[in-house]
Structure 1
Protein backbone atom coordinates (compact mmCIF):
# COMPACT_ATOMS: atom_id res chain seq x y z
CA UNK A 1 0.00 0.00 0.00
CA UNK A 2 2.68 2.56 0.94
CA UNK A 3 5.98 3.21 -0.84
CA UNK A 4 8.72 1.98 1.46
CA UNK A 5 11.68 1.45 -0.88
CA UNK A 6 15.04 2.14 0.73
CA UNK A 7 16.14 4.60 -1.96
CA UNK A 8 14.92 7.79 -3.58
CA UNK A 9 16.22 7.28 -7.12
CA UNK A 10 16.42 3.86 -8.76
CA UNK A 11 18.42 4.90 -11.86
CA UNK A 12 22.16 4.15 -11.61
CA UNK A 13 24.11 7.23 -10.54
CA UNK A 14 26.42 6.70 -13.53
CA UNK A 15 23.54 7.11 -16.03
CA UNK A 16 22.96 10.87 -15.92
CA UNK A 17 20.23 10.78 -18.60
CA UNK A 18 18.22 8.16 -16.69
CA UNK A 19 18.74 10.03 -13.40
CA UNK A 20 17.52 13.30 -14.97
CA UNK A 21 14.47 11.56 -16.46
CA UNK A 22 13.61 9.94 -13.14
CA UNK A 23 14.07 13.16 -11.18
CA UNK A 24 11.78 14.98 -13.63
CA UNK A 25 9.16 12.25 -13.22
CA UNK A 26 9.41 12.41 -9.43
CA UNK A 27 9.03 16.20 -9.47
CA UNK A 28 5.98 16.00 -11.75
CA UNK A 29 4.46 13.22 -9.60
CA UNK A 30 4.71 15.25 -6.40
CA UNK A 31 3.43 18.29 -8.29
CA UNK A 32 0.15 16.47 -8.98
CA UNK A 33 -0.42 16.28 -5.22
CA UNK A 34 0.63 19.92 -4.81
CA UNK A 35 -1.94 20.92 -7.48
CA UNK A 36 -4.55 18.92 -5.55
CA UNK A 37 -3.82 20.74 -2.28
CA UNK A 38 -3.26 24.26 -3.59
CA UNK A 39 -6.20 24.01 -5.99
CA UNK A 40 -8.47 23.44 -2.98
CA UNK A 41 -6.81 26.14 -0.88
CA UNK A 42 -7.15 28.76 -3.62
CA UNK A 43 -10.55 27.44 -4.78
CA UNK A 44 -8.94 27.35 -8.23
CA UNK A 45 -11.04 24.99 -10.33
CA UNK A 46 -8.55 24.70 -13.20
CA UNK A 47 -5.55 24.06 -10.96
CA UNK A 48 -7.49 21.54 -8.87
CA UNK A 49 -8.82 19.74 -11.96
CA UNK A 50 -5.30 19.57 -13.45
CA UNK A 51 -4.33 17.12 -10.70
CA UNK A 52 -6.73 14.40 -11.92
CA UNK A 53 -7.14 11.98 -14.80
CA UNK A 54 -10.64 12.12 -16.38
CA UNK A 55 -11.72 8.83 -14.73
CA UNK A 56 -10.03 9.47 -11.37
CA UNK A 57 -11.29 8.09 -8.07
CA UNK A 58 -11.00 9.85 -4.72
CA UNK A 59 -11.71 7.74 -1.64
CA UNK A 60 -12.08 9.80 1.55
CA UNK A 61 -14.09 7.05 3.25
CA UNK A 62 -11.20 5.63 5.34
CA UNK A 63 -10.45 9.07 6.84
CA UNK A 64 -14.10 9.94 7.46
CA UNK A 65 -14.74 6.60 9.14
CA UNK A 66 -12.54 7.78 12.04
CA UNK A 67 -15.28 10.24 13.13
CA UNK A 68 -18.27 8.32 11.83
CA UNK A 69 -18.53 10.03 8.44
CA UNK A 70 -19.82 8.10 5.44
CA UNK A 71 -18.97 9.98 2.25
CA UNK A 72 -19.39 8.32 -1.13
CA UNK A 73 -16.51 7.21 -3.31
CA UNK A 74 -15.99 10.12 -5.71
CA UNK A 75 -15.50 9.04 -9.34
CA UNK A 76 -14.56 11.20 -12.32
CA UNK A 77 -12.49 14.39 -12.40
CA UNK A 78 -15.49 16.66 -12.93
CA UNK A 79 -17.46 15.09 -10.07
CA UNK A 80 -14.47 15.30 -7.70
CA UNK A 81 -13.79 18.94 -8.54
CA UNK A 82 -17.43 19.99 -8.39
CA UNK A 83 -18.16 18.13 -5.15
CA UNK A 84 -15.12 19.33 -3.19
CA UNK A 85 -15.12 22.92 -4.37
CA UNK A 86 -18.89 23.23 -3.84
CA UNK A 87 -18.46 21.92 -0.29
CA UNK A 88 -15.68 24.43 0.55
CA UNK A 89 -16.04 27.57 -1.60
CA UNK A 90 -17.46 30.45 0.46
CA UNK A 91 -17.89 28.15 3.46
CA UNK A 92 -14.56 26.59 4.48
CA UNK A 93 -11.02 28.01 4.43
CA UNK A 94 -8.38 25.33 3.90
CA UNK A 95 -4.62 24.90 3.94
CA UNK A 96 -2.81 21.69 2.99
CA UNK A 97 0.81 20.92 3.89
CA UNK A 98 2.30 17.94 2.08
CA UNK A 99 5.29 16.13 3.57
CA UNK A 100 7.23 12.86 3.43
CA UNK A 101 6.53 12.01 -0.22
CA UNK A 102 7.71 8.53 -1.27
CA UNK A 103 7.48 7.52 -4.92
CA UNK A 104 7.70 4.32 -6.94
CA UNK A 105 7.71 4.72 -10.73
CA UNK A 106 6.89 1.84 -13.06
CA UNK A 107 6.89 3.00 -16.68
CA UNK A 108 3.84 5.21 -17.22
CA UNK A 109 2.33 4.50 -13.81
CA UNK A 110 3.49 5.55 -10.36
CA UNK A 111 2.61 5.24 -6.72
CA UNK A 112 2.96 8.12 -4.26
CA UNK A 113 2.53 8.07 -0.53
CA UNK A 114 2.67 11.23 1.54
CA UNK A 115 1.46 12.77 4.77
CA UNK A 116 -0.93 15.68 4.40
CA UNK A 117 -1.88 17.99 7.22
CA UNK A 118 -5.16 19.58 6.24
CA UNK A 119 -6.57 22.53 8.17
CA UNK A 120 -10.25 23.31 7.60
CA UNK A 121 -11.94 26.32 9.24
CA UNK A 122 -15.48 27.56 8.76
CA UNK A 123 -15.14 30.88 6.96
CA UNK A 124 -17.75 32.55 9.19
CA UNK A 125 -16.30 31.13 12.43
CA UNK A 126 -12.64 30.10 12.55
CA UNK A 127 -13.22 28.68 16.04
CA UNK A 128 -15.03 25.82 14.28
CA UNK A 129 -12.32 23.78 12.61
CA UNK A 130 -10.91 20.36 11.82
CA UNK A 131 -7.19 19.71 11.68
CA UNK A 132 -6.43 16.35 10.06
CA UNK A 133 -3.18 14.39 9.65
CA UNK A 134 -3.80 12.07 6.72
CA UNK A 135 -1.65 9.45 5.02
CA UNK A 136 -2.34 9.53 1.27
CA UNK A 137 -1.98 6.55 -1.05
CA UNK A 138 -2.00 7.80 -4.64
CA UNK A 139 -1.82 6.01 -7.99
CA UNK A 140 -0.83 8.20 -10.93
CA UNK A 141 -0.52 7.91 -14.69
CA UNK A 142 1.65 9.79 -17.14
CA UNK A 143 -0.19 12.47 -19.13
CA UNK A 144 2.33 13.79 -21.65
CA UNK A 145 5.05 15.61 -19.70
CA UNK A 146 3.10 15.65 -16.45
CA UNK A 147 1.49 13.13 -14.14
CA UNK A 148 -2.13 13.02 -12.98
CA UNK A 149 -3.93 11.19 -10.21
CA UNK A 150 -5.83 8.07 -11.21
CA UNK A 151 -6.77 6.93 -7.71
CA UNK A 152 -6.36 8.56 -4.30
CA UNK A 153 -7.10 6.94 -0.96
CA UNK A 154 -7.04 9.22 2.09
CA UNK A 155 -6.72 7.70 5.55
CA UNK A 156 -6.51 9.49 8.89
CA UNK A 157 -3.91 9.11 11.63
CA UNK A 158 -5.36 11.72 13.97
CA UNK A 159 -7.62 14.74 14.01
CA UNK A 160 -8.63 17.50 16.32
CA UNK A 161 -11.61 19.81 16.14
CA UNK A 162 -15.01 18.98 14.68
CA UNK A 163 -14.82 17.25 11.28
CA UNK A 164 -18.60 16.79 11.17
CA UNK A 165 -19.06 20.59 11.17
CA UNK A 166 -16.78 20.80 8.14
CA UNK A 167 -17.67 17.68 6.14
CA UNK A 168 -21.20 16.97 7.37
Structure 2
Protein backbone atom coordinates (compact mmCIF):
# COMPACT_ATOMS: atom_id res chain seq x y z
CA UNK A 1 0.00 0.00 0.00
CA UNK A 2 1.41 3.40 -0.95
CA UNK A 3 1.54 6.31 1.47
CA UNK A 4 -1.38 8.03 -0.26
CA UNK A 5 -3.44 4.81 -0.17
CA UNK A 6 -2.61 4.40 3.52
CA UNK A 7 -3.66 7.99 4.27
CA UNK A 8 -6.87 7.53 2.29
CA UNK A 9 -7.73 4.32 4.19
CA UNK A 10 -6.99 6.07 7.50
CA UNK A 11 -9.39 8.89 6.58
CA UNK A 12 -12.08 6.39 5.52
CA UNK A 13 -11.69 4.48 8.80
CA UNK A 14 -11.84 7.65 10.92
CA UNK A 15 -15.05 8.74 9.22
CA UNK A 16 -16.52 5.25 9.62
CA UNK A 17 -15.68 5.28 13.35
CA UNK A 18 -17.51 8.58 13.82
CA UNK A 19 -20.36 7.26 11.65
CA UNK A 20 -20.95 4.51 14.25
CA UNK A 21 -21.74 7.19 16.85
CA UNK A 22 -23.89 9.09 14.34
CA UNK A 23 -25.94 5.89 13.87
CA UNK A 24 -26.20 5.51 17.65
CA UNK A 25 -27.40 9.09 18.18
CA UNK A 26 -29.75 9.13 15.18
CA UNK A 27 -31.17 5.75 16.18
CA UNK A 28 -32.14 7.22 19.55
CA UNK A 29 -33.47 10.51 18.15
CA UNK A 30 -35.45 8.91 15.32
CA UNK A 31 -36.65 6.01 17.50
CA UNK A 32 -35.17 3.73 14.86
CA UNK A 33 -34.16 0.56 16.69
CA UNK A 34 -32.62 -0.96 13.55
CA UNK A 35 -30.33 2.04 13.14
CA UNK A 36 -29.46 2.02 16.84
CA UNK A 37 -28.79 -1.73 16.72
CA UNK A 38 -26.48 -1.27 13.71
CA UNK A 39 -24.20 0.94 15.80
CA UNK A 40 -23.53 -1.64 18.52
CA UNK A 41 -21.49 -4.82 18.78
CA UNK A 42 -23.47 -7.82 20.02
CA UNK A 43 -21.61 -7.74 23.37
CA UNK A 44 -21.53 -3.94 23.69
CA UNK A 45 -21.37 -2.24 27.09
CA UNK A 46 -23.01 1.10 27.86
CA UNK A 47 -21.89 2.90 31.02
CA UNK A 48 -23.81 6.08 31.90
CA UNK A 49 -22.79 5.90 35.59
CA UNK A 50 -20.39 8.89 35.60
CA UNK A 51 -22.97 11.21 34.00
CA UNK A 52 -25.83 9.87 36.11
CA UNK A 53 -23.88 10.35 39.34
CA UNK A 54 -23.27 14.02 38.52
CA UNK A 55 -27.01 14.43 37.89
CA UNK A 56 -27.77 12.82 41.25
CA UNK A 57 -29.13 9.43 40.28
CA UNK A 58 -27.95 5.90 39.60
CA UNK A 59 -28.01 4.19 36.22
CA UNK A 60 -26.67 0.65 35.87
CA UNK A 61 -24.05 -0.52 33.38
CA UNK A 62 -25.98 -2.09 30.51
CA UNK A 63 -24.48 -5.08 28.70
CA UNK A 64 -25.48 -6.58 25.39
CA UNK A 65 -26.73 -4.89 22.21
CA UNK A 66 -30.36 -6.00 22.60
CA UNK A 67 -30.47 -5.03 26.27
CA UNK A 68 -28.98 -1.58 25.51
CA UNK A 69 -31.50 -0.95 22.71
CA UNK A 70 -34.40 -2.05 24.93
CA UNK A 71 -33.22 -0.01 27.91
CA UNK A 72 -32.70 3.18 25.91
CA UNK A 73 -35.99 2.74 24.07
CA UNK A 74 -37.87 2.26 27.34
CA UNK A 75 -36.18 5.03 29.32
CA UNK A 76 -36.65 7.59 26.52
CA UNK A 77 -40.11 6.46 25.38
CA UNK A 78 -41.92 9.62 26.55
CA UNK A 79 -39.23 12.05 25.37
CA UNK A 80 -38.17 13.69 22.16
CA UNK A 81 -34.38 13.84 22.01
CA UNK A 82 -31.72 15.48 19.90
CA UNK A 83 -28.10 14.44 20.13
CA UNK A 84 -25.43 16.64 18.55
CA UNK A 85 -21.99 15.09 18.10
CA UNK A 86 -18.89 17.29 17.94
CA UNK A 87 -15.11 17.35 18.27
CA UNK A 88 -14.44 13.64 17.70
CA UNK A 89 -10.84 12.57 18.25
CA UNK A 90 -10.22 9.11 16.85
CA UNK A 91 -7.33 6.72 17.43
CA UNK A 92 -7.22 3.57 15.32
CA UNK A 93 -5.15 0.47 16.08
CA UNK A 94 -5.78 -2.18 13.44
CA UNK A 95 -9.36 -3.36 13.79
CA UNK A 96 -10.05 -1.50 17.03
CA UNK A 97 -10.54 2.19 17.66
CA UNK A 98 -11.12 4.65 20.44
CA UNK A 99 -12.94 7.96 20.20
CA UNK A 100 -13.22 10.85 22.61
CA UNK A 101 -16.18 13.01 21.56
CA UNK A 102 -18.58 15.62 22.89
CA UNK A 103 -22.32 14.94 22.69
CA UNK A 104 -24.98 17.45 23.57
CA UNK A 105 -28.22 15.68 24.45
CA UNK A 106 -31.52 17.54 24.67
CA UNK A 107 -34.51 15.77 26.27
CA UNK A 108 -38.02 17.22 25.95
CA UNK A 109 -41.24 15.58 27.20
CA UNK A 110 -43.67 15.02 24.33
CA UNK A 111 -46.49 15.89 26.73
CA UNK A 112 -44.96 19.28 27.70
CA UNK A 113 -42.45 20.73 25.22
CA UNK A 114 -41.93 23.78 27.44
CA UNK A 115 -39.74 21.67 29.74
CA UNK A 116 -36.32 20.24 28.92
CA UNK A 117 -33.15 18.71 30.29
CA UNK A 118 -29.95 19.47 28.39
CA UNK A 119 -26.61 17.77 28.95
CA UNK A 120 -23.17 18.24 27.46
CA UNK A 121 -21.45 14.88 27.81
CA UNK A 122 -18.05 13.49 27.00
CA UNK A 123 -18.24 10.02 25.46
CA UNK A 124 -15.29 7.65 25.70
CA UNK A 125 -16.13 5.18 22.94
CA UNK A 126 -14.36 1.91 22.11
CA UNK A 127 -15.11 0.32 18.74
CA UNK A 128 -14.20 -2.59 16.52
CA UNK A 129 -14.33 -3.18 12.81
CA UNK A 130 -17.21 -5.44 11.85
CA UNK A 131 -17.08 -6.21 8.15
CA UNK A 132 -17.44 -2.93 6.26
CA UNK A 133 -18.53 -0.87 9.29
CA UNK A 134 -17.36 -0.01 12.78
CA UNK A 135 -19.49 -0.82 15.83
CA UNK A 136 -19.37 0.39 19.42
CA UNK A 137 -18.07 -2.16 21.91
CA UNK A 138 -18.10 0.14 24.96
CA UNK A 139 -19.39 3.63 25.60
CA UNK A 140 -18.70 5.45 28.86
CA UNK A 141 -20.57 8.72 29.30
CA UNK A 142 -19.42 11.49 31.64
CA UNK A 143 -21.15 14.81 32.09
CA UNK A 144 -19.51 18.22 31.67
CA UNK A 145 -22.54 20.43 32.37
CA UNK A 146 -26.31 20.18 32.49
CA UNK A 147 -29.29 22.52 32.68
CA UNK A 148 -33.04 22.37 32.88
CA UNK A 149 -35.43 20.16 34.81
CA UNK A 150 -33.82 16.86 35.86
CA UNK A 151 -37.30 15.41 36.46
CA UNK A 152 -37.71 15.32 32.67
CA UNK A 153 -35.43 12.27 32.57
CA UNK A 154 -37.82 10.34 34.79
CA UNK A 155 -40.53 10.65 32.15
CA UNK A 156 -42.72 12.84 34.32
Normalising to structure 2: TM-score of the pair?
Answer: 0.95
CA distance in 1, matches of 2:22, 2:112: 27
Normalising to structure 1: TM-score of the pair?
Answer: 0.89
* Structure 2: unaligned runs, 5 residues or longer: none
Partner of 2:95: 108
Partner of 1:118: 105
Partner of 1:8: none
Partner of 1:138: 125
* Structure 1: unaligned runs, 5 residues or longer: 1-13
Task: Answer yes or no: is the 8 Å Cα contact 1:59–1:154 preserved in 2.
Answer: yes
The reply on whether 1:99 has 2:92 as its aligned counterpart is: no
Q: Once the two structures are superposed, what CA deviation does each residue of 1:39-71 show, in whole Å capped at 9, x if it has no partner?
A: 000000000011100000000010011121101
Q: Once the two structures are superposed, what CA deviation does each residue of 1:84-116 show, in whole Å capped at 9, x if it has no partner?
A: 012223x10000100000000000100001100
Partner of 2:12: 24
The DSSP-based 3-state class of the residue aligned with 2:116 is strand
The reply on whether 1:54 has 2:32 as its aligned counterpart is: no
Q: CA deviation at 1:166?
A: 1.1
Q: Structure 2 residue aligned with 1:149, among 129, 132, 136?
A: 136
Q: Structure 2 residue aligned with 1:162, among 132, 138, 149?
A: 149
Q: Once the two structures are superposed, what CA deviation does each residue of 1:107-147 show, in whole Å capped at 9, x if it has no partner?
A: 01000011000000011011221100001000000101110
CA distance in 1, matches of 2:150, 2:125: 23
Task: Answer yes or no: is the 8 Å Cα contact 1:116–1:136 preserved in 2.
Answer: yes
Number of residues of Structure 1 aligned to a counterpart in Structure 2: 154
CA distance in 2, matches of 1:44, 1:157: 27
Q: Structure 1 residue aligned with 2:56, among 63, 68, 77?
A: 68
Show the 5 A alignment for 1:78-89: 78-89=66-77
CA distance in 1, matches of 2:91, 2:154: 32
Q: CA deviation at 1:151?
A: 0.3
Task: Answer yes or no: is the 8 Å Cα contact 2:108–2:152 preserved in 1.
Answer: no
